[in-house]
Chain A
């Protein structure tokens, strides 16, 4: 008899605690402004990432198609996964000296772990982390990028 009474009381207590929980969920049904969900593909135009967000490595160019990269290769050394390859070339400066310059800054996005070590190590601040996070492509070869734009050259006054 005692056991039966205990069983029934547990059932009622169970219903009671269930209602306590449902009170919470009910509260949020009627206060939907408390939620944090974003309507992602619809809000693409207004969606702004935080300015430190690490999406991809990019090399900013000025309007004269000038960048800050000297081709020193420090980012290549600092990359843990070998996702950066520097191909440098020899250029003649105005006063006739030979100087190393960047030919191609190759960046394998598919191998990058976004650790920020290359950006931190860069002595001239030539590469920064971009905000783009939509990296899906149909072909893997498209993930290999050349960061310096064709025909670009190093900005005046940047030294190694």
Chain B
């Protein structure tokens, strides 16, 4: 109650013409259980207070009771659309702590899987973004193409979304004999499909009218609020971990960090589409050159980290994902903290959407590409 009072009586003035609306927790465009307390005047949004925690699952607490290989399967359940990046972050963190050098083959496989996950995630984002703005057709087109990636995952990893594929020291299985053929087929096919995305949605005048010059985020705000990923890069914030702190096979490939300074919803949209092209470009460079070798190094039965603190940053589909492990030398971590990209991105929403119409709020929220378990953890 005090919180509502505080929102209404901000700046020592009682706003009688303003009212509060709860958007969510069960709103289709929040993509999960997220509640936004929106202060409105007519249709104009004045202030947004996000309320999170509806599906808080205490993953950080659970991690303190289980061993390092077991932590990885929990990270699948946080940001389920970039599950492999999350797995990889923990695996890399443990490998760095133990100073294990993984074979080249593992690095290549992990990077390809990363980029496939990024493609799948961006495809889902694209179709859901269209659906949020009332274009249901895009939903079917995005899911149709995503199905091919999920099939590739299922064939090699055994699961479609909760992959649990990267482990400390390597990957769970070697790649399936069909893997390279299928990935190449998919890339060839999707290169033809991606221009269709532009024709269906990007070029559409109605779509452009609803996204251009909406939800402006300045470079300074993006850094101050820690907005990363395509959302941050749309404001000119060069935050690609793959470029600045390369890991796995990223130092070996040529790719461009897409940056733009316009900072509106359409820019963030366009950058994600361009990132899909870049992802395919990265996969093409790697897929034919996967070196022969082991798919994992032999680790001890019980993985124990030396005492100390370890941090690993990776680029997930939504932005920078970080793992902070404090170890006391036992087989369980003393403390695990996950820096999730969605958490920081969400709270910049107030900055971006204030002053716009409530229908624009939906468009702005979909370019942030929120995944709620990623925020709540």
Contact = CB atoms under 8 A, between A and B. Distances in A.
Contacts of B148: 36
A18 interface: yes
B154 interface: yes
B157 A52 contact: yes
Interface residues of A, number: 28
Interface string A111-140: 001111100110000000100000000000
Nearest to A37: B144
A52 B158 contact: yes
A18 B137 CA distance: 12
Contact of B66 (A36, A50, A80, A121): A80
B204 A52 contact: no
Contact of A10 (B162, B205, B301): B205
A115 B73 contact: yes
Contact of B203 (A20, A49, A129): A20
A34 to B, nearest CB: 8
A10 B205 CA distance: 8
Interface string B65-96: 01001100110000000000000000000000
A16 B203 CA distance: 10
Interface string A98-115: 000000000000000111
A36 B144 contact: yes
B73 A21 contact: no
Contacts of B137: 21, 25
A29 B181 CA distance: 29
A152 to B, nearest CB: 26
B327 interface: no
B73 A17 contact: no
Interface string A58-92: 00000000000000000000101000000000000
Contacts of A21: 137, 199-201, 204
Given A13-B205, A52-B157, A35 B144 contact: yes
A24 B193 CA distance: 10
B173 A80 contact: no
Interface string B155-192: 11111001010000000110010000000000000000
Nearest to A34: B144
A117 B299 CA distance: 14
Contact of B205 (A14, A24, A78, A114): A14
A54 B66 contact: no
Contact of B154 (A24, A53, A117, A129): A53
B205 A117 contact: no
Interface string B84-114: 0000000000000000000000000000000
Contacts of B294: none
Contacts of A50: 151, 154-155, 158, 176
B204 A117 contact: no
Interface string A1-44: 00000000010011011101101110000000001100000000
A49 B160 CA distance: 12
Contacts of B200: 21, 24-25
Given A18-B204, A36-B144, A113 B199 contact: no
A24 B135 CA distance: 14
B203 A17 contact: yes
Interface of B: 66, 69-70, 73-74, 137, 144, 147-148, 151, 154-159, 162, 164, 172-173, 176, 196, 199-201, 203-206, 209, 301
24 contacts: A10-B205, A13-B205, A14-B204, A14-B205, A14-B206, A17-B204, A17-B205, A18-B206, A20-B204, A21-B200, A23-B199, A25-B200, A50-B154, A50-B176, A52-B157, A53-B154, A53-B158, A113-B162, A114-B158, A114-B159, A115-B73, A115-B162, A117-B69, A117-B73
Given A113-B162, A117-B69, 20 more contacts: A10-B205, A14-B206, A20-B199, A20-B203, A20-B204, A21-B199, A24-B196, A35-B144, A50-B151, A50-B154, A50-B155, A50-B176, A52-B155, A53-B154, A53-B158, A80-B66, A80-B73, A114-B158, A115-B73, A120-B172
